């Protein structure tokens, strides 16, 4: 005959197994989502390259980012930087001075690694690391958060970064990708993060 105490132990053991399995599935799902996002971001970087890029291109992209943010009813700081100078900067009404600092820190990540700041952040999250431990970079100067995208020119390579800040990092990243895809006439379709 099964006593109440024995039944309670079995029940608690089953609950414990269920929670362990659930936690493991969630962890694996999170890793799979990270890997899927990293794969898509790599495809975005490959697809969203320019044939040429100059001051006029920066003005057009910056203006489109501003217009798209206004259309969405959000406020962001926008920066387009090549080699050694900023070609476009605009802080929309509703942003705060710290957004410009976030732009600088995200841009520094792209200038250092030549990949999206969001992909660097996701890679660090996946590997349970940070830029201070792995590279000695100060948090005050580097922010591996979404919103900065490398400017790559076909036949030339990396020349700078397009950066926005003011939204949650995934939305900052998505705003840049959306505008670049439209500008470059690249169908967003499978490139969009879910």
Residue-level pLDDT at 106: 98
Q: Are 47 and 186 in contact (CB under 8 A)?
A: yes
44-191 maps to CATH 3.30.450.150: yes
Residue-level pLDDT at 1: 56
pLDDT tens-digit readout, 20-36: 444 444 444 455 699 99
Residue-level pLDDT at 26: 43
pTM reported for the whole predicted model: 0.83
Residue-level pLDDT at 110: 98
User: Considering Cα of 167, then 171, then 173, then 179, what sign does the dihedral take?
Assistant: negative
Q: Are 62 and 78 in contact (CB under 8 A)?
A: yes
Q: In the chain, which residues have pLDDT < 70? A: 1-32
Backbone torsion region of residue 155, taken as left when φ is above 0, otherwise alpha when ψ lies between -120 and 50, otherwise beta: left
Nearest to 74 by CA among 7, 155, 171: 171
Give the largest Cα separation in the chain, rounded: 84
Residue-level pLDDT at 83: 87
Residue-level pLDDT at 84: 87
Counting Cβ atoms within 10 Å, is residue 119 exposed (0-12), middle (13-18) or buried (19+)? buried
Q: Is 86 helix (H, G, I), strand (E, B) or coil?
A: strand
pLDDT tens-digit readout, 84-124: 899 999 999 999 999 999 999 999 999 999 999 999 999 99
Dist. CA 143–CA 118, nearest whole Å: 9
Residue-level pLDDT at 14: 59
Residue-level pLDDT at 39: 96
Residue-level pLDDT at 92: 97
Residue-level pLDDT at 178: 97
Dist. CA 148–CA 177, nearest whole Å: 10
Q: Where are the domains of the chain?
A: 44-191
Residue-level pLDDT at 6: 62
């Amino acid at each position: 005959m099964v006593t109440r105490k024995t039944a309670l132990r079995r029940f608690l053991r089953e609950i414990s197994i269920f929670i362990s399995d659930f936690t493991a599935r969630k962890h694996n799902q999170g890793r799979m989502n990270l890997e899927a996002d990293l794969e898509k971001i790599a495809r975005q970087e490959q697809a969203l390259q320019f044939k040429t890029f100059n001051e006029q291109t920066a003005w057009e992209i910056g203006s489109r980012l501003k217009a798209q943010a206004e259309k969405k009813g959000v406020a962001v700081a926008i920066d387009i930087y090549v080699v050694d100078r900023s070609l476009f900067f605009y802080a929309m009404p509703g942003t705060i001075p710290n957004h410009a600092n976030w732009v600088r820190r995200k841009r520094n990540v792209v200038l250092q690694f030549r990949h999206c700041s969001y992909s660097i952040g996701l890679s660090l999250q996946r590997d349970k690391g940070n830029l201070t431990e792995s590279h000695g970079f100060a948090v005050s100067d580097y922010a591996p958060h979404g919103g900065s995208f490398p400017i790559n020119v076909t036949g030339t390579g990396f020349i700078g970064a397009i950066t926005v800040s003011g939204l949650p990092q995934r939305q900052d990243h998505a705003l840049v990708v959306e505008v670049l895809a439209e500008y470059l006439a690249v169908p967003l379709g499978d490139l969009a993060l879910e």
